Chains A and B, each alone.
Chain A
Amino acid sequence: MKATGVARSGETTPLARRDLAAVTLDGETVIHTHGRVHLLDPVASLVWRLCDGRASVDEITRDLAAAFDVPDPTVREDVVAAVEQLAALGLMAGPPPDRAGAVERSGRLLADPPGSCPSCAERPWVHRAAFRIGNRTVTVGTNSRRADEVLRAALARHLVPMPDQGLMMPPFFALDVHDHPAAVGSQPLHLLTRGADLVARSRRPSRVVRALVAHLATYGDLGPLGLGAVSGLVAGRDGQAIIVEPPGDRFRFGHVAARAGFAVADMPVALVDAGRGEVLVGAPGLDVDATAIDALDEESSERDPVEPLPWGRYRIAALALAPPVSAAAALLALGPVVGDHRDHERAVDALLALVDSVPVADRDDLDALAAGFADRAR
């Protein structure tokens, strides 16, 4: 309801919202709505109670004037002002705001609390797209028209009209892709960020876009796929994988792992199929046109010093933890993280199954793990 001017017509029959929590004490009314508490003075309290959708502003005025024995014109000004103020506070019934339901139609918007995404908020991401992932909507911002087009093509089946709110909020993921690689010398790094965190980087644009798609998939509906999202990195070699307790610096760990012959997946979590004893690297549940993504790379695109573990399924050979190492400690080391938007119960189920079926090893002794892999491979 547009407040100003409406109540000035004496024939208007205002209707106060009756679905709000309200208590009246000594003539004053306290109302709670949408996280705010309003205190109405005695006049506003009376007006709010008399606005039943049948009585007109003129009738309410006459009733109050008679009750308080004051002239109509004096009371009318108070009634009009009160109705307009009540409407402005959202305490009167009216049509829903124009944008109401926009987000609801496209699923829950995946968002961090306001202010928690400084790097995204500060950048002028000119291209934005929203994707339906499971029952959620995720917005992605990028500085690259090409990356935006590729992403829209690669995830065409998941693309949704941008919810209004999405335009105002920082994107959940941001792609920093350089459309014009340097002609000579080292090519620029392309970056994938989530909030203030750098989650993937590469000199090949396709790699960060693949990483984005894999990250998006982990927020999907993994239950029907038999997957639980365990908090660990996936490091693999020889067709097998270990799930590693997240280190302080995943990029440094990638280099350490590479020295022992392991490649680390560009995934935020380990998607565990506990029934089959496997971990899945990729974008399960998403309909992805990977060819479109790979077309992003130029012939001149450099390979990274440490390449990621390719998408696929891997048998889980071990869990690798920082010391102290024990099966029970793995529950804590690889447990889900508060506020990560994923299905925690399914993750705990997957972990409980894993700790009973897979050996637990020392993360700092990757060479021993690698030797075990080689033995099994032979």
Chain B
Amino acid sequence: MGDRGTELRSRLDEVPSGGATPRLALLGFDVVMRVPDPTLAAYLTELYAPLRVPGVATSVLTLSQRGSGDDTRYAVHLDATRVVTTPAPSVAFHYLLWEANRQAIDRTRGSVLVHAAAAAADGMAVVLAGPMGAGKSTLVAALVQSGLGYLTDEVVALDPVSGEVLPYPKYLSLGGALAGLAPAPPSGIGPFLGDQQLAAPDAIRPGAASGPARPGLVAFPRYERGATAQVEPLRPAEALSMLAQHAFHIEEDGPRTLEVLARTVEASACFRLVSGDVEGATAALLRLVGSVRTPVGS
């Protein structure tokens, strides 16, 4: 942190706030979040609990309330840079979480990052890649509920040296069939949450957060209304091309990204998974996990 950063951080600490999270390590983003409500601060701390680290963070994300009455505005700042100003607290809170995730992706350059969810079965990572709405978060929540370890519901970080999936166990964003898994938020912060259904990893299953895990299974889920769960094996290059389409920073470092992703698919069984319900998809994934860990004939 340079002189400007140090001075700025020290001045921002003087801004009155309702509360703050501890220092959090969101992959390469070293941050503390400050919000206008102490209950909201405690809630955020719980959502990000596995990412807590000791010490003083280099960056500050601030959600502040400005003005009063009809002129009340909520603003989100990254250090002194304004991300958004809005009259709606739920929009501001959404931006706070969104910006935290965006910075985690932007500031993590050592690892290869993929827009994917992941769970771990006895040290083997199950990677679920796909576009928004494919059901990644829901499926990973179901896998965690079934006993797998939680790695991430948003960004798979692959260590380019070890090839392992590094954990990014932030809160899970739930919807659809598993929305009920999200515990009721503390009273008083409803206006900030809006219709978001968030769950700390421990709320899905206590002690769910996993350590690094070696990729062993890569699946590309797709929801199709009314479909019975079906899995279809993918050729390695086919899986690589699909995975690469969800890679972050591939524009800046294409060769290294493709090389690390190639090692990932070569080390994994890769499948396309079409399903119409969470239970069917989860059962299919668990069967795949079983078959990969215990190959036929062994």
Contact = CB atoms under 8 A, between A and B. Distances in A.
Interface of A: 20-30, 32-35, 37-39, 231, 245-248, 321-324, 326-329, 331-333, 335-338, 344-345, 347-349, 351-352, 355
B184 interface: no
A32 B254 contact: yes
B11 A333 contact: no
A159 B11 CA distance: 42
Contacts of A337: 81-82
Interface stretch (B44-52, B59-67, B150-158, B198-206): B59-67
Given A21-B257, A326-B15, A348-B8, A332 B237 contact: no
A329 to B, nearest CB: 5
A344 B78 CA distance: 12
A331 B8 contact: yes
A352 B237 contact: no
Closest CB pairs A-B (n = 5): A21-B254, A28-B237, A335-B80, A328-B14, A322-B67
Contacts of A35: 250-251
Interface stretch (B111-119, B120-128, B240-248): B240-248
B12 interface: yes
Contact of B241 (A20, A37, A321, A348): A37
Contacts of B87: 248
Interface of B: 4, 7-8, 11-16, 62, 64, 66-68, 71, 73, 75, 77-85, 87, 235-238, 240-241, 244-245, 250-251, 254-255, 257-259, 261-262, 265-266
A322 B82 contact: no
Nearest to A335: B80
In this complex, the member of A30, A247, A326, A349 whose beta carbon has the largest number of chain B beta carbons within 10 angstroms is A30
Contact of A331 (B12, B235, B258, B266): B12
Summarize A's interface: helix, strand, loop or mixed: mixed
A204 B250 CA distance: 50
Q: Is the interface of B mostly helix, strand, loop or mixed?
A: mixed
Contacts of B62: 332
Given A323-B68, A349-B4, A37 B15 contact: no
A28 B238 contact: yes
B252 to A, nearest CB: 11
Contacts of B78: 338
A345 B67 CA distance: 26
Contacts of A352: 4, 7-8, 11
Contacts of B83: 338
Contacts of A327: 11, 14
B80 A331 contact: yes
23 contacts: A21-B250, A23-B261, A25-B237, A26-B235, A27-B237, A28-B235, A28-B237, A30-B244, A32-B250, A32-B257, A32-B258, A34-B251, A38-B241, A39-B241, A326-B16, A327-B14, A335-B80, A335-B81, A337-B81, A337-B82, A348-B8, A349-B4, A352-B7
Nearest to A27: B237
Contacts of B237: 23-30, 39
A23 B80 contact: no
A25 B11 contact: no
Contacts of B240: 23, 25, 30
Contacts of A345: 4
A348 B80 contact: yes
A344 B254 CA distance: 29
A231 B14 CA distance: 20
Contacts of B266: 25
Contacts of A328: 11-15
A39 B262 contact: no
